[in-house]
């Protein structure tokens, strides 16, 4: 019998779809908490006026597959016939060898032969010409709904832009926010907050209300350091052994992406150079990078190769690239980018340093990485640029994160240290008058509010409170 026989394909599909017999998703495949993206996808899936297929993109182990199972269970709970639902993971060794149309033919010939189907496709990037197949499904099966996942978001988005206009939308899912982390753990200390509370509008509250809010938030502070170490990935956040969780993160996320996903997607021949470049970026996360410097330090790697591999790492959701933003009206800077590892936990797992929590420099890098990720996730649906600003003259002339749109300009500086000074030498102070909001993210839980250790135009907020409030605001959108 051929390994790609109809019998073998059907056997794999049956094992992936146990609800065909039981009419329910096994409990071990589900989680109590639903991520922000789940509600966005379900809203798109349920619309009758505007039909869209949905592609969920994001890094490995951030919960994309769990979201698919949660959606399937929701549909079953609404009374949808179980055989109308097909889940396929294209990461399976057999299914990687079989064209998508053959898989769907086996399903239609043996399980359900009509066109009012709900397809759930996992790890779509492994399908050759997946965008063409989705276009065929959309055009020929008007009653079919499709939700897919993929681990290479820009690749998915680019193809959606090329041939998917009006047919599907790409929803990017970052690693867990600090708010989602606390929610998944079911922490009793989670405060009840108004939906309208955001880090950017705290200065509009009375001093009494600010004190009351920070008092409500303070109990979650004790969970902040663990969140930075392992908390961005749902399964690992729930683990009881943090060292083992970091090992799993290193092996199942970083190594698989560097040694399998990127080489297979982009025909990378020298994965060793890719690993060296990623390691360099881990050591320099939150820094402005020079492609020439990387090429010199990693002797034997050319400048074009460095640029190409950095883009591959961005595509595979291992890094963020932050570009310079001109906020002063002066001549634009030379376009050197900052790079952030996609989650502080990824960097920790790779570097394997034991003194991270006691090292103020490392803590500053981790916190800035987390702040950038939260800001980027919050604004990713909006016509907003998230970058950084720097004037010539040193570190005091830099603003870590700038959020700029036609409606607002928000400046954010991370000062995660015991003491710091904010005066006119700081770029954020000079630029605050021309911004909608200017925030300094601090370390101490009592270091918040305007004035005191900062000019009145700059609002100080502790890092854990900033991240929790921004994650909460994102969930309430």
- At 167-188, the pLDDT tens digits run 778 888 999 999 999 999 999 9
Q: How many CB atoms lie within 10 A of CB 413?
A: 24
Q: For residue 103, list its beta bridge partners.
A: none
Report pLDDT digits (tens) over 76-132.
999 999 999 999 999 899 998 899 999 999 999 999 999 899 999 998 888 888 888
Q: Is the confidence at residue 342, as pLDDT, over 90?
A: yes
Query: Encoding tokens for residue 223?
Result: 């969970």
Q: What are phi and psi of 169, to 5 degrees?
A: -125, 150
Residue of higher predicted confidence among 124 and 414: 414
* Structure confidence at residue 455 as a pLDDT band (50, 70, 90): low
Residue count (the chain): 477
Nearest to 117 by CA among 102, 107, 128: 107
Query: Encoding tokens for residue 154?
Result: 């820009």
Please provide the DSSP assignment of 112-124 as one string: --SS--EEEEESG
Q: Is the pTM of this model over 0.75?
A: yes
The arithmetic mean of pLDDT across residues 194-220, rounded, is 93
Cα distances (Å, whole numbers) of residue 135 to 8, 132, 171, 264, 276: 27, 5, 18, 24, 38
Query: Encoding tokens for residue 427?
Result: 């770029």
Q: How far apart (Å, rounded) are the C-alpha atoms in residues 340 and 148? A: 27
Q: What are phi and psi of 128, to 5 degrees?
A: -65, 130
The answer to whether the CB of 217 falls within 8 A of the CB of 468 is yes
Q: Are strands 338-341 and 287-288 parallel, antiparallel or unpaired?
A: antiparallel
Q: How far apart (Å, rounded) are the C-alpha atoms in residues 169 and 148? A: 10
The position carrying tokens 């009881």 is 240
Q: CATH 3.40.50.300 spans which residues of the chain?
A: 6-173
Q: How far apart (Å, rounded) are the C-alpha atoms in residues 369 and 362? A: 11
Please give the angle made by the CA atoms of 236, 238 and 239, to the nearest 5 degrees: 65
Query: Encoding tokens for residue 246?
Result: 């970091």
Average pLDDT, the chain: 89
The arithmetic mean of pLDDT across residues 453-463, rounded, is 82
Report pLDDT digits (tens) over 267-300.
888 889 999 999 999 999 999 999 999 999 998 8
The answer to whether the CB of 365 falls within 8 A of the CB of 395 is no
The arithmetic mean of pLDDT across residues 235-259, rounded, is 91
Report pLDDT digits (tens) over 366-406.
999 999 999 999 998 777 899 999 887 665 688 999 999 88
Question: Which residues are within 8 A (CB) of 59 and not within 5 positions of it... i.e. 6 or more apart?
Answer: 151, 175, 253, 257, 316, 317, 318, 342, 343
CATH number of 6-173: 3.40.50.300
* Structure confidence at residue 154 as a pLDDT band (50, 70, 90): very low
The answer to whether the CB of 268 falls within 8 A of the CB of 274 is yes
Nearest to 422 by CA among 441, 446, 444: 441
């Amino acid at each position: 019998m051929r390994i790609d026989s109809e019998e073998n394909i059907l056997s794999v599909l049956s094992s992936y779809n146990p609800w065909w017999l039981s009419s329910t998703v096994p409990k071990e495949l589900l989680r109590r908490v639903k991520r922000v993206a789940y509600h966005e996808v379900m809203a798109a899936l349920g619309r009758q006026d505007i039909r869209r297929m949905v592609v969920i993109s994001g890094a490995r182990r951030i919960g994309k597959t769990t979201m698919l199972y949660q959606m399937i269970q929701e549909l079953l709970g609404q009374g949808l016939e179980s055989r109308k639902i097909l889940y396929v993971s294209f990461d399976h060794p057999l299914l990687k060898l079989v064209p998508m149309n053959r898989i769907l033919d086996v399903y239609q010939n043996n399980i359900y032969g009509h066109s009012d189907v709900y397809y759930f496709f996992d790890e779509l990037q492994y399908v050759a010409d997946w965008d063409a197949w989705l276009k065929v499904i959309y055009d020929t099966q008007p009653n079919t709904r499709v939700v897919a996942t993929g681990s290479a978001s820009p690749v998915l988005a680019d193809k959606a832009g090329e041939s998917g206009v009006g047919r599907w939308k790409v929803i990017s899912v970052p690693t867990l926010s600090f708010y989602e982390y606390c929610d998944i753990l079911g922490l009793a200390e989670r405060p009840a907050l108004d939906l309208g509370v955001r880090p950017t509008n705290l200065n509009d509250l009375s001093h009494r209300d600010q004190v009351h809010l920070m008092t409500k938030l303070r109990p979650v502070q004790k969970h902040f350091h663990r969140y930075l170490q392992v908390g961005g990935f749902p399964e690992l956040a729930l683990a009881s052994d943090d060292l083992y969780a970091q090992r799993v993160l290193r092996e199942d996320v970083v190594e698989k992406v560097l040694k399998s996903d990127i080489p297979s997607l982009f025909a990378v021949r020298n994965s060793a150079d890719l690993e060296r470049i990623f390691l360099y970026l881990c050591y320099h996360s939150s820094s402005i990078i020079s492609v020439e410097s990387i090429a010199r330090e990693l002797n034997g790697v050319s400048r074009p190769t460095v640029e190409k591999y950095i883009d591959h790492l961005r595509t595979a959701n291992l890094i963020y690239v932050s570009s310079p933003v001109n906020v002063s009206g002066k001549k634009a800077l030379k376009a050197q980018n900052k790079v952030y590892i996609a989650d502080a936990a990824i960097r920790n797992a790779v570097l394997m340093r034991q003194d991270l929590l006691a090292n103020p420099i490392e803590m500053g890098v981790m916190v800035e990485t987390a702040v950038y990720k939260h800001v980027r996730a919050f604004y990713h649906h909006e016509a907003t640029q998230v970058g950084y600003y720097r004037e010539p003259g040193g570190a005091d002339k830099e603003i870590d994160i700038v959020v700029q749109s036609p409606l607002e300009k928000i400046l954010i500086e991370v000062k995660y240290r015991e003491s710091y000074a904010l005066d006119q030498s700081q770029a954020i102070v000079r630029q605050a008058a021309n911004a909608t909001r200017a925030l300094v993210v601090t370390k101490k839980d009592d270091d918040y509010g305007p004035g005191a250790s900062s000019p009145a135009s700059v609002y100080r907020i502790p890092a854990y409170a900033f991240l929790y409030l921004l994650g909460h605001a994102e969930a309430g959108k």
